[in-house]
Amino acid sequence: MTARRLPSVSPRVALLAGAALILAITLYAGREALGPFVVGLLLVYLLAPPVEFLARLRVPRSLAILLVYVAAVGLVIEGLNLMLQPLVDQLRQFTSDLPGLADRLRVQLEDVGAVYRGLELPPAIRQAIDEWLAKLAQGDVGFDPGVLLPVLRATTAVVATFLAFFIIPVWGFFLLKDRPALVRAAQASIPPEWLPDVEAVVAIVSRVFGSWVRGQVLLGLTVGIATFGGLLILGEAVDPIFSRFAILLAVVAGVLELLPIIGPIIAAVPAILLAATAGLDAVGAAFILYFGVQQVENNLLVPKIQGDATNLHPSAVMVALIVGATIGGLLGAILALPVTAAARDVYRYLFARLSVAADPPATDTPVAPPQEESATPDQSSEPSVDFPADTD
């Protein structure tokens, strides 16, 4: 069967494209307020399968959503009960131990400085390093009242974000409740000749985001658990400082797994700083632990869990992270990978559709009448056979 080329742009399609462009511009102008709603869409995506399952069992849709909400809240509360108290205890312990840790770190840095002073460095390089360290040690203790303005703005943004997150469950409830009607309305607003391609693009985006969401949840849990176990082992084998803050460091590692490439690096920084208070051996052990977990994740877990859905070149990932952070802050950096991967797959699909040759016009090819001439002289001795007419 010959593949169908993309249909031509009709006035209705042009109207739909113009409306989509205006909507995109409006959303971009108000992007600072969209963070909670993006999180809400992710929650709706996660909660939609159990809601649809209960709906197929003849459970009223509103009741099904309430049951899923109750189950989700119960799981979150149980998880917090298991982790929150130990996490709070370790945060409190870290706060109380911070002055002592700073003193130990200063002693270790003095030892490193003694090693540095004993190195035979060229005078120009030593002078440059000394000037940089002197600038780093300088601090301005003056107070500028102007610094309060960003603080006030940040406080206002936090309050507004909290209120927005407060209404997200209600917003998500209505999306889940009216999801079938919303899908039918969206399909009715699309010209029939474009509906298969639109559904294909939506399926591509859904596949990429579904793979990313499932992968991030599983990877975050796996990396957090692996980091926690490794820190406990290092606490027994190297220094107790690792096991003292194992839960805190493991939670940080699991959460920062949302940021590809740079997230694990940032997560390793506090562990290495804590290890620096115990000596160079502890620093090396912490580095090996985090490097090993990252290698196992990249080479074993990611290909198995996410496959090729969000497989991008590292250089493309870095550019996407920077652009996403510039546009949408932390949330933009987190969503940069699935958005870029979905855009890549949609581009490939549209490129393939535009590359399909147009169907040839349907014409009735006349059938040549049977020939009744006698056989040619060189075929006179052969049996009489009817050959089809040569149409070349």
Q: Which two tokens stand for residue 292?
A: 């090993």
Q: Model confidence over 153-174: pLDDT tens digits?
A: 555 555 666 666 678 888 888 8
Angle at 171 between CA 324 and CA 177, to 5 degrees: 120
Does position 57 have pLDDT exceeding 60, yes or no?
yes
Q: Give residue 33's pLDDT.
A: 75
Q: Model confidence over 130-158: pLDDT tens digits?
A: 666 666 555 443 444 444 455 455 555 55
Among 41-45, 69-73, 288-292, the least confident range:
41-45
Q: Give residue 227's pLDDT.
A: 92
Cα gap 295→282, rounded to integer Å: 20
Q: So where are the chain's domains?
A: 34-117+163-189
| Sign of the CA dihedral running 305, 210, 314, 334 | negative
Q: What is the DSSP string of 115-163?
A: HHHTS---HHHHHHHHHHHHHHH-------GGGHHHHHHHHHHHHHHHH
8 A C-beta contact, residue 211 and residue 226: no
Q: Give residue 169's pLDDT.
A: 84
8 A C-beta contact, residue 337 and residue 353: no
Cα gap 223→260, rounded to integer Å: 13
Q: Model confidence over 214-239: pLDDT tens digits?
A: 788 888 888 999 999 999 999 888 88
Q: Which two tokens stand for residue 339?
A: 């958005």
Question: What's the CA dihedral at 84, 86, 91, 97 to 10 degrees?
Answer: 170
Cα gap 353→347, rounded to integer Å: 10
Q: Give residue 88's pLDDT.
A: 74
Q: Give residue 307's pLDDT.
A: 61
Q: 């390093």: which residue's tokens? A: 129
Q: Give residue 120's pLDDT.
A: 62
Residue 170, Cα to own-chain centre: how many angstroms? Answer: 25
